Structure 1
């Protein structure tokens, strides 16, 4: 397995407290080698050296991941989430090759006080506890400025960019966007699968588009300097968000409906509209999402079918990667939260064959090594590879953040 030269010294989440006394103990999933390493890319010695060089020299940005450790017994996740103490996967991040990762925290699976998720109190607890842990170590930087990302690169550390997949917790309180910004949130989704006060999610049968309040929220995000995401928003809501925003937006983690025809994938007109306004689409790899007719068993090959399609559709300068991975049994997590995550509606009735994990893109520690390896063996240039693994995302971040 490739490893990155990072300055990680072994810190574990909340180790400034006593596990079992100050907070509940769980047996957690491994951060490396939880499943067999991907063996689908056969690299020569020169190609291996090129992969290492590109990752080590580039600013590598994941537009969407959840780099925390889940219980080894995934059924314990609800009890684990109720404590509010997700453990950051520091060791896995140190091996990942990433410079920066947009971390979307617990989001719709936050159940500190409610089984329904998205409660303001739960989100604040999630953010506060994670930030308290980050403050007690010096490997992961809580990134709030572009300078923080460059500092992480220059010092051999990781920049963690706080984000939320939906604005649902703000309810009808516009100033809560400012509060989230004050806490460090720098990327914010419009809606998850269910509609909220801003607009419609992909689960809804009818998409009413961006609401009046949603338009005001988009304006506030623009003024604050928050990257807007429409990955889980309905098609009309996505288009109207792109149109109303005076800054480029991101589709941080999705795929192309032209490759796999489900609601979870974005149609060509949304991808094109995003690109025309300077935005990017990050290709995701959450289990059973970015499938393709040519690769119906979900693997890196399925995801790269979406990559090739999007590059052909809007140009390589508008494509990135938001693998949407975590440390643990992602398929089991989907099964556990199937209702809240709206997986049935997202698949739109399209049949697919289940896999236990996405081969080649199973966790944050391996994704970008395997992505760069695939790009190297498929004859992409150094400049093209640097663009899609971080340069394109950085262009949007630099334009949007104040």
Structure 2
């Protein structure tokens, strides 16, 4: 069985890399950018290059599906770069290819707010993909940079699914039928995503969970089963959104960036402004085995457990990361 996580933003350290190894995690899509511009994104990638050099016994750059297979064989973790915003390309479509050349493999078209490309899920009005957005999607398709709509609103997401010539991803979110968080996705979006061959990564971030930090693994696995009925078992995986070891100042940066002088609490509140506690069954990278057991105990076929835990992501990487 291969284990792949479709989204993390941990406070990266030797301890966390060691936990990935102990948890048998062969690949993680890591967030390199929230609000950073191109130069700042390059600086973050330079930081990762130093980590690759320093901790080469644990991690390696993940740019292809074969890199992930190599990581599994060598009991290391392939690190796949992604951008949770389109800010790295600024207003220059030529930077799409550069971001791919630097190792980027996923880019969200918006992060909660309206962007030059698409509408975020916190906006009141969603006019859909913009003129520039259509051009950028075409360029992302050409080079092999996956369109990610995790933080985007419904119309923009449906537009992206229709416009994109290659399957898109929602790397970290859950169905709205299970928990009505702003970030979670409607049945219409999930059906369209599945029919187009796209991928959904299930989030374990408590604000996206029914019962939040008290969510049980049984409830989580029931949600996975119901979603599989809606969009197919071949189109789902894990995208934990794990922020292991991060301070509360990081979640403030995620929500506020530089776009406002006011505090934005996202799906938290003034009395619950920081990172919420993770569910007891998933607190870090050692805990993927709990997910495997939970799916098995719920009654999933072993072949479907293997697909959900990483097989589907690997197949998606195979068809998505190279040029069209």
Give the TM-score of the pair, scaled to structure 1: 0.72
Distance in 1, Cα, partners of 2:94 & 2:216: 41
- For 1:384, the equivalent position in structure 2 comes to 304
- For 2:104, the equivalent position in structure 1 comes to 185
The equivalences for 1:360-371 within 5 A come to 360-366=281-287, 368-371=288-291
Question: CA 1:288/1:364 → structure 2, altered by over 3 Å: closer, same or farther?
Answer: same
Distance in 2, Cα, partners of 1:337 & 1:154: 35
- For 2:316, the equivalent position in structure 1 comes to 396
The equivalences for 1:87-236 within 5 A come to 89-105=16-32, 107-108=33-34, 117-138=35-56, 139-236=58-155
Tell me how far 1:287 sits from its aligned partner. Answer: 2.5
- For 1:283, the equivalent position in structure 2 comes to 202
Tell me how far 1:384 sits from its aligned partner. Answer: 0.7
Q: Which runs of 5+ in 1 are unaligned?
A: 1-57, 70-85, 109-116
Please tell me whether the aligned partners of residues 259 and 305 of structure 1 are also in contact (alpha carbons under 8 angstroms).
no
Tell me how far 1:302 sits from its aligned partner. Answer: 4.6
The equivalences for 1:18-97 within 5 A come to 58-69=1-12, 89-97=16-24
Please tell me whether the aligned partners of residues 67 and 88 of structure 1 are also in contact (alpha carbons under 8 angstroms).
no
Per-residue CA shift, 1:328-352, capped at 9, x if unaligned?
257775367554499745579xx9x
1:326 aligns with 2:221: no
Distance in 2, Cα, partners of 1:245 & 1:346: 29
SS of aligned partner of 1:206: coil
Please tell me whether the aligned partners of residues 6 and 172 of structure 2 are also in contact (alpha carbons under 8 angstroms).
yes
- For 2:226, the equivalent position in structure 1 comes to 309
Tell me how far 1:379 sits from its aligned partner. Answer: 2.0
The equivalences for 1:349-360 within 5 A come to 356-360=277-281
Per-residue CA shift, 1:90-145, capped at 9, x if unaligned?
2122122111111113x22xxxxxxxx33222222111111222134423110112
SS of aligned partner of 2:6: strand
Larger Rg: 1
Question: CA 1:302/1:288 → structure 2, altered by over 3 Å: closer, same or farther?
Answer: farther
Distance in 1, Cα, partners of 2:159 & 2:29: 24
Distance in 1, Cα, partners of 2:30 & 2:230: 28
Q: Which moved more, 1:91-100 or 1:336-345?
A: 336-345
Tell me how far 1:306 sits from its aligned partner. Answer: 2.9
Distance in 1, Cα, partners of 2:179 & 2:134: 30
1:248 aligns with 2:167: yes
Question: CA 1:228/1:305 → structure 2, altered by over 3 Å: closer, same or farther?
Answer: same
Tell me how far 1:263 sits from its aligned partner. Answer: 1.4
Per-residue CA shift, 1:271-304, capped at 9, x if unaligned?
1111101012110011322225xx7834544533
Q: Which runs of 5+ in 2 are unaligned?
A: none
Tell me how far 1:305 sits from its aligned partner. Answer: 4.0
Tell me how far 1:67 sits from its aligned partner. Answer: 3.7
Tell me how far 1:247 sits from its aligned partner. Answer: 0.8
Please tell me whether the aligned partners of residues 331 and 357 of structure 1 are also in contact (alpha carbons under 8 angstroms).
no
Distance in 2, Cα, partners of 1:307 & 1:398: 23
SS of aligned partner of 1:360: coil
Q: Which moved more, 1:227-236 or 1:337-346?
A: 337-346
Distance in 2, Cα, partners of 1:356 & 1:207: 32
Distance in 2, Cα, partners of 1:63 & 1:166: 16
Q: How many residues align?
A: 313
Distance in 2, Cα, partners of 1:397 & 1:206: 33
Question: CA 1:332/1:174 → structure 2, altered by over 3 Å: closer, same or farther?
Answer: closer
Please tell me whether the aligned partners of residues 9 and 31 of structure 2 are also in contact (alpha carbons under 8 angstroms).
yes
Distance in 2, Cα, partners of 1:162 & 1:332: 22
